[in-house]
Structure 1
Amino acid sequence: MFQRTEPDEILKKIHDEERKQGRGYLKIFFGYAAGVGKTYTMLEAAHTAKSRGVDVVVGYVEPHARPETTRLVQGLESLSPRIIEHNHIQLKEFDLDAALARKPELILVDELAHTNATGLRHHKRYQDIRELLAAGINVYTTVNVQHIESLNDMVASITGVLVRERIPDYVFDDADQVELVDIEPNDLIERLEAGKVYQPNQAKKALSNFFNRDNLIALREIALRRCADRINKMTELAKADKGIDYFTGEHILVCISSSPTNAKVIRTAARMAAAFKGRLTALYIETSDYIRMDQKSLNTLSENMHLAQQFGARVEAVCGDDIAYQISEYARLSNVSKIVLGRSQTKKHLFSKPSLVEQLTFAAPNLDIYIIPVKGTSVYRYQKYKEKPQFVLKDFLICICVIIAITFIGYLFQNFGFSEANIITVYILGVLMISIMTSQRIYSIVSSFLSVLVFNFFFTNPYFTFQAYDSGYPVTFVIMFLAAFITSGLAVQMKNSAKRAAQTAYRTKILLDTNQLVQKEKNKKGIIDVTCHQLMKLLNKDIIFYPVDELNLQNPIVFSIDDSKDIEKCINNNETAVATWVYKNNKHAGATTHTLGNAKCLYLALRVNENVYGVVGIRIKNKPLDPFEHSIVLSILGDAAMALEKEQVIREKSKADLIAKNEQLRANLLRSISHDLRTPLTSISGSAGILLSSSDTLDEKNKKQLYTDIYDDSLWLINLVENLLSVTRIEDGTMQLNMTTELIEEVVHEALQHISRQGREHHIQVQQDNEFILVKMDTRLMIQVIINLIDNAIKYTPKGSHILIHVFKQKQEVCIDVQDDGPGITDEMKPHIFDMFYTGNMKVADSRRSLGLGLALCKSIVNAHHGTMSVLDNQPKGAILRVILPVEEVILHE
């Protein structure tokens, strides 16, 4: 049965095809161990390509002192390696910039999983290769099975060796071609024993450890299975493209923590997502202990988040101290079907809390929960970081003052005959107040203990000693201490929760405000200003914005929180180069990342799909952005990018509309001119022909009539051409107003001097109020307006009609009315009378068709003078065309 393709799927395919166009071709030579012949096979393929005329260059090949490999490198052009000094040792690295400058058709880069030396642009070599592919360069490379991220734990459990150099799975899966280089494990062992892989002393050590026969067999099986998984995935994608037998509804959730063992849980979840063909989401719960995390834990957390992103997981962050509740609520709202957790190794005792798994099972009984065994402490029980007590004079004085105050109140209670229970309640209240008013938990604990001692000293018999004769007092003291301790703890917890909730609400408010503010802005500058100021409010950090214009990164715009000149250190060639790389590659880079990490700022792209509309630099000093902040920042940048895309679409649409409008104008002008110029041109040429051929036989009266006709037709053409020039200048925006202050009476009289000869056949009068009115105008254009209005009245009224030009002042405006007593303008025509090329059904007195430019031109000129035009009915008949202009402040009276 035919299945309709969803629009989102069509758009995704279009974006994928556009992204692939112009990109290079990646081929990976894949093996299960060193020495199987990956580099050798790659070099043989390079020679074959060169024999076909392909431009082949060796970017970097690790020869490993193998003669066969070294011999194959010869005959191929090779780039010189880049020499990097590290701990007084010279390291040879792949020169990415030299490869991009050479830009061959095919380049060979060995060791895909290699970690670059400090100081290079990228942390990993696979990132170098991705940049080569983006530049349109085809790449051959090599990698072993133990270097694939999701298989790292599995290989380590087999071989006992934890491989540090790894590549994300998507690099392997997204390769255009993977060629498995395979030999029998026994043959590989023989090569090792023969010294063809390592030096004899190294080979002997390798054979006794990593390269034993059982390990090689297991690694070979994993490599074969991984290639088969890649083929299966390609088949499923092909089925999805054709809409055949493919559906996934699985959504797998894995939690991120600062535990070193969390990486194994993430890898397992990624393999499950691939197996179930589902989505993968990584969730981080930011608790109140986050602010006390040490740098090591922060780095581990950042690495785990980066690992999840490598697997294509969508990283989300939520806030709250109840981890089980936060996970279950997110799973419920996001339609999660499976949750992957690490197994706790903590021992259970009588008073221990339920484990996270037990809490989750109770909170979300309908979800599938997968437990992954890990070594060490609990993966998901958030580590409680002990707060180091610090002496704060203000808090110390608060404790002393509160205890003195409640002791005084206790004396009052004792004098009024209240029982000791009431006094104990006062002390508990005091401890509660201290918990709320001080900044550290230690003060509430100490005040709980002191309140017991003070109560014992002042209110138990014998007084003013720390002894107590009554046998029930020890129990009273214990209960009093526990009550004070518990209430103070609850107060501190509530205070911290309130602070956390206020901070979360503040961040969320900034996000919502940003969405509303950027939607209100109509231009690019306003959107940039709103975005950067909102980021400053959220992060309290300096922001640098690099706008994009005409597909190039422009000069940075600085937004400083304290207007200090220290921000200028972040504006130099090195920082600009990082921002440029982010723009070209549509990825984040800079401080706290593995790409150009020596930069002073973290650079993020404002992007929608593959289109980048700007680059934001966030000045990171010491501590990286916390996960929740990072999530909010990405949301803000997403809103800003959408607004910039919308603004660009509107701007491009306006340009397209203007071009279409100009094209339509040209078409209408050409069509009208070609048709309407025939009559005057034919008249002129006919009259001139008669004068040339029959001038001797014509009497003076007929000659004068012919001359008059030629003159009148020429004036009509001159007026038409003047209108056409003015219309084109207005439409393309090149009309410049030369504003001067003029007497309106003089302008009207000047216009009457240019009225056509047909005006003599009408009664034209001027009426003006008894005052001199000054108007700021472009005299030439305003004369043209009055001429067009009078000519319009002449054209559409019969001979002998009366035309009145009435000028009068109305408040702070001057009105110029051109009145006639002709047939008038119907109600159907009034809404269109100022439209270009509109002539209606009126008959022109001089037998010519009007182009319909005059009144449209008049309205455009009047609007440019901040005035208005309107059409009114004249009484008892006729029409009034009214022009209203603002007057100057100076008005001269007679």
Structure 2
Amino acid sequence: MPGEPARPDPDALLALARREGRGRLKVFLGAAPGVGKTMEMLAEAHRRRAGGSDVVVGIVETHGRADTQAAIGDLPILPRIRIEYRGQALEEFDLDAALARRPQILLLDELAHTNVTGSRHPKRWQDVEELREAGIEVWTTMNVQHLESLSEAVARITGVRVAETVPDRVLAEADAVELIDIPPAELIERMRQGRIYRPDQASRALRGFFKEGNLAALREMALRRTAERVDADVTGYMRANAIAGPWPAGDRVMALIGADPSAELVVREARRVADALKAPLVALHVERPTADPSADPGPALRLAEQLGAETETVADDDLPSAILREARTRNATHLVIGRGRPGWWRRLTGRTLSATLLREATDFTLHLVPEPARAPRRLRAEPRALPGWAGWAATPALVAAATAVGIAFDGVVPEGALGMVYLVPIVAAAVGFGPIQGAFAAALSFLAWNFLFLPPRYTLTIAGPQDVVGVVVFALVALLLAGTTGGLGRSVRAARARMLGLRRLVEFSRRLGAPGDKGDLLLAIAEEASRIAGGPACILLLLPPLPGESAPEPVLRASVPISVEPDEASMAAARWSAANRRPAGRGTDTLPAAAWQFRPMRTAHGLAGLVGLRLPEVGVPLEGEADRALDALLDQGAVALERAELMEERARSEARAETEVLRTALLTSLGHDLKTPLTSIRGAIGTLRTAGPALSEQTRADLLATAEEETERLSRWISNILDMVRIENRQIEPRRETVDLADALETAAARAGRGHGREVVLDIAARATAPRLDPALLDQVLVNLLDNALKFSAPAGRVVARLSREGPEVAITVEDDGPGIPREDLHRVFDPFFRATRTDRVAAGSGLGLAICRGLVQAMGGRILAESPVTPDGGGTRMVVRFPGG
């Protein structure tokens, strides 16, 4: 309320209170390896130890760097624990020793590290969680690419998928984050000097991950994530200390979306402002119960989401107050609004939204978007809700206005007819303010009509029977109008409220149907439940019961705000609700003393989860539209979760089916490609053992040659398997150097031709082409392709290898006149263990050659495709490999 002192946000105070009992966490965050995180942590540790703090090194990874080892200096170090794993004794961080030692500050390097199997926790960040619960302050290091939410983006930028990740909430819950940053050029120079990796590792890193563009992109990610963290700290401080804001510590843009034609233009303009300021964007829509139900802000909100904005919808009668409240809550600094077309009365009295914000939003920068060209004009202005006392003040004014009209027509119109004038204020008061105000207007109208116009005038006496009948009819009609029109007005307002709820429900359904993972779905349900209940909300999913237990265990999976979670007493209510599939907790008949209320999300197949609400007061349940909206949310959320479970199960089934197909193909290939050479080798060796002396020299030579040939074939097949494993695990790192493609093609053609006793026709049109490739990998690709072409073409067939220039690329084409590949199999020929139906009848193979070729070509930055048929009779195959030109 205006005039009341600002109060701290309870959620912000609760978050501070929860941190009080835990050890602090400080994260030294870097954009890439080698920026100096560990060195900075050790330098700070020495400063704190010199000040009298008890600082202990839990684990610091030196990676063989002498300067890092020297930086540890005289800091006490906890002994590591030795864990046996696959016959080796590996050293890991000793969590129990750290808990027993209980230093003031514990240094733990590499937060994303995966612990050896047999450790208490699989990840080091989980060790940190236990240390913090014990009240120990932990300092740690990590790189931005290890954040779980950024792993996909990092893989797209660098081409390297990070295997070890840390949940984003660990960084969000840290008490301090210190960014360690150096320019990419300086980091690359450190790498060249051997100050980060050994020389052989450094050269590979400089060709791959440590490119200047990659490092610049990672640096921007680290800066943005740190800026977001600082912004969250500022916002939390403001809420905890009841600071209304905004604080101009950083720019934040808020677009105010209405239901008019200019809404989408406002979104686009706000996006341009946010991009220019490099600031986050929030799109806000304020729903008013008195608004036109046909107006739909949905397209503008969807556009805002597509442009990367965070969208929020709130309900309030007072539009300017709601806008300023949300803007201060989110610490916005720029407000973007549309000019619109307000009515002439609002413009005359200065009650337009832009004028009101110009007067009241003195802490914000206001951007006014021009009206779109040829925008349709609204036919009527939206009604503005009035406070409750206005009805009691306006009703006498309406009656007085009707009295003035009656006085003006007194003597012209019979006094009985003048009573009809008073029906107008009765209807107006009933429709505008309700039936009680309508009855009040009826009473005032009757007294005014009787006193001023019915004889004898200026008294409340009724003289004749005719006047008595008129008064009775007037009273009945007035009361009937007050009741019916008041109820009609109430029904209209209720219908508008239901329309608002329905619109929110439709918008929520659209969010549930949007692409995203299960975590996004749970967060959307929690946000909608929080909006309906007006307080914190959470989503609990159910774990299967443990052996010996019958009830499932609810586990927290999402909450709004992210820092809240039910206490142990409330979790007892959650367990009861999960076991009995009925609401429990505050405001119910079961465990009403709990701080939270839990409602089950039921489907036809069982219980999908629980929605938890932290209600403000005991005995104040949700009522009316809020309760119905929550029931609809539970139904929709349950169906959405069930659909997500079914989709995950389908994905798992497809993965199992694909794995089964590959397993069958592998076993089939093993049975065929291993059995044949082993049988030949065993037969040759058996013959030499039993009848060796009796055999001629030529026969013994033939048997030995057969054994040697089959051994090479077996070795080649096993080598293909190992190559495929290396490709699948992304373990191939090309050693790039300038390659003369003409010489490489001629060498590979000569080698493949000798193996088959045939010649390959060469057509080289780009002899000067010399891109940077790996010569060994390129030779393996060319030999495989030429060997396939020779093997699947007729003995007298023709195999052609071409080298040509195609714009910025160079193309190597290998073409044969064999049976060709069916069109429906072209997209699968590069899959492991796949064999096309026609070629399978011509020559046997493992189905790995083309898969290996594709992997090696992609590792060198090229691409490969298959074409068939290429001959007039419907046969022949053409393999085309393209690399960026030199």
Query: Normalized against structure 1, the TM-score is what?
Result: 0.44
Q: Which has the larger radius of gyration?
A: 1
